[in-house]
């Protein structure tokens, strides 16, 4: 990918509300750079999944990751790259490491996950939000929270919670993205 004049900041984590708050706070702190936030599901693909008929069945972990990759490609094409080309600071929340951590926690191969997201540009900065996932349904707004609920459906809360905990642990240990520069 060609060098972009703006600054790309990746925010990753398993608590969607905390990731969103961190991204929006950072953007406010950088108003002078006309900072923008690109949030997951900008394409609306996950909103469509939420309203799918029950007989459509539950998606697999691989399907959820592929949908995330499609949504990220949409965000990069229509939100991130144009803002970076204008020299703006763009906060992408969540970015690649969140999806890879979820995929690994769900049992997908690390190498194939890295390859799947190889289209994404390296960020200039990367931050991990270590806040645990919310237990309150109304606060469960992030990709990992959503994907865990979709993947496991009506199964036990304890199983969903364990998947989210594994994703959080994995996120702390992976170093998939290096910085640009």
**pLDDT truncated to tens, each residue of the chain (181 aa)?**
455 689 999 999 999 999 999 999 999 999 988 999 999 999 999 988 888 777 777 889 999 999 999 999 999 999 999 999 999 999 999 999 999 999 999 999 999 999 999 999 999 999 999 987 666 555 567 899 889 888 876 566 777 788 888 898 898 888 655 555 5
Sheet holding 89-93, edge to edge: 36-39, 89-93, 7-13, 125-129
Contacts of 57 (CB under 8 A, 6+ apart): none
Domain residue spans of the chain: 7-173
pLDDT at res. 154: 53
pLDDT at res. 56: 76
* This prediction's pTM: 0.88
pLDDT at res. 133: 67
Q: From CA 42, how far away is CA 16, in angstroms rounded?
A: 14
- The second-level CATH assignment, the architecture, of 7-173 is 3-Layer(aba) Sandwich (3.40)
Rounded percentage of the chain residues whose pLDDT exceeds 90: 60
Strands 125-129 vs 7-13: parallel, antiparallel or unpaired: parallel
Question: Looking at the chain, how many residues does it have?
Answer: 181
């Amino acid at each position: 990918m060609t060098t972009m004049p703006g600054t790309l900041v990746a925010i990753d984590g398993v608590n969607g509300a905390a990731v969103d708050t961190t991204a929006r706070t950072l953007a406010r702190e950088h108003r002078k750079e006309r900072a923008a936030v690109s949030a997951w599901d900008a394409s609306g693909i996950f909103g469509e999944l939420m309203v799918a008929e029950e007989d459509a069945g539950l998606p697999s972990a691989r399907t959820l990751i592929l949908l995330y990759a499609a949504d990220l490609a949409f965000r990069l094409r229509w939100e991130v790259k144009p803002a970076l080309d204008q020299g703006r600071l763009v906060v992408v929340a969540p970015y690649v490491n969140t999806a890879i951590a979820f995929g690994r926690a769900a049992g997908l191969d690390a190498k194939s996950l890295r390859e799947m997201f190889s289209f994404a540009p390296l960020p200039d900065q990367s931050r991990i939000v270590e806040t645990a996932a919310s237990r309150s349904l109304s606060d469960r707004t992030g990709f990992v929270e959503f994907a865990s609920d979709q993947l496991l459906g009506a199964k036990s809360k304890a199983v969903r919670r364990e998947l989210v905990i594994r994703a959080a642990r994995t996120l702390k240990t992976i170093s998939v993205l290096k910085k640009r520069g």
